[in-house]
């Protein structure tokens, strides 16, 4: 839900989180980006959250995400693009946007390969995300085929996994799996 009426937000202009406040009675975060819009992000819309509620939260280093620690000690990192994904209908990757033909298959294929390679090398999602310089929720969305990664992201993941980029996008099974 958008509180302010601003033009659609693009990733090039909305990368810094200025303010976050949790409204416990609504189970909702009020998130303000540097471009001015304020969004209402429901805790329950975040796939990694549980039902325990929020113990504390803070804006992360670099101001590109905010960190949430739930009463259960479950920890979430919520990047700015996840806020837009759920709250900004003008965002090109908003959850209601249709994925162009072929993109869904490609995203799913890359996601499966990424997960196979990660598990094969014994990485957790958090460990690989850290090694590749990504936010954990972004890596999770890639693995679930929700987004096609950019070449830069593929290169960072390939470097962290010590495999060629081609192995991440290949249709064939990784070596040792047939």
CATH number where 118 lies? 1.10.260.40
Q: How confident is the model at residue 102 (pLDDT cuts 50, 70, 90)?
A: low
**Quick one: 81 and 109 in the same domain?**
no
Q: Is the residue at 63 inside a domain?
A: yes
Q: Radius of gyration of the chain from Cα atoms?
A: 17
Among 12-16, 33-37, 115-119, top mean pLDDT goes to 115-119
How far, in Å, CA of 133 to CA of 120, rounded? 20
Q: Is the residue at 94 inside a domain?
A: no
**Domain final residue pick, 87, 119, 140:** 87
Q: Which two tokens stand for residue 109?
A: 């294929």
Owning domain of residue 38:
17-87
Q: Is the residue at 43 inside a domain?
A: yes
Ranges assigned E (strand) in the chain: 17-23, 28-33, 38-42, 54-59, 65-70, 75-79
How far, in Å, CA of 159 to CA of 157, rounded? 5
**Quick one: 74 and 109 in the same domain?**
no
**Quick one: 83 and 107 in the same domain?**
no
3-state secondary structure of 37: coil
Q: What is this structure's pTM?
A: 0.60
The 3-state secondary structure of 138-149, one letter per residue = HHHHHHCCCCCC
**Domain final residue pick, 55, 87, 119:** 87
Q: Residue 2 half-sphere exposure, CB side, CA atoms within 13 Å?
A: 17
Q: Is the residue at 4 inside a domain?
A: no
Please count the structural domains in the chain.
2
Q: Are 55 and 67 in contact (CB under 8 A)?
A: no
Please report the pLDDT score of residue 17 as a whole number: 94
**Quick one: 28 and 63 in the same domain?**
yes
For residue 85, give the H/E element and its range: helix 80-87
Q: Is the residue at 174 inside a domain?
A: no
């Amino acid at each position: 839900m958008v509180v302010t009426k601003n033009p659609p937000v693009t990733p090039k202009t909305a990368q810094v989180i200025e303010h976050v406040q949790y409204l416990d009675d609504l189970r909702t975060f009020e998130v303000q980006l540097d471009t001015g819009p304020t969004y209402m992000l429901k805790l329950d819309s975040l796939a990694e959250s549980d039902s325990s509620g929020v113990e504390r939260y803070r804006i992360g280093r670099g101001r590109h995400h905010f960190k949430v620690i739930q009463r259960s000690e479950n920890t979430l990192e919520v990047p700015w693009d996840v806020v837009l994904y759920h709250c900004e209908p003008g965002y090109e990757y908003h959850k209601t946007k249709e994925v162009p033909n072929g993109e869904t298959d490609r995203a799913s294929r890359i996601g499966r390969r990424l997960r196979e390679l990660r598990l094969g090398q014994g990485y957790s999602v958090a460990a690989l995300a850290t090694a590749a310089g990504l936010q954990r929720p972004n890596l999770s969305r890639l693995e679930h085929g929700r987004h096609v990664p950019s070449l830069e992201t593929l290169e960072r993941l390939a470097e962290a996994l010590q495999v060629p980029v081609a192995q991440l996008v290949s249709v064939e099974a990784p070596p040792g799996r047939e």
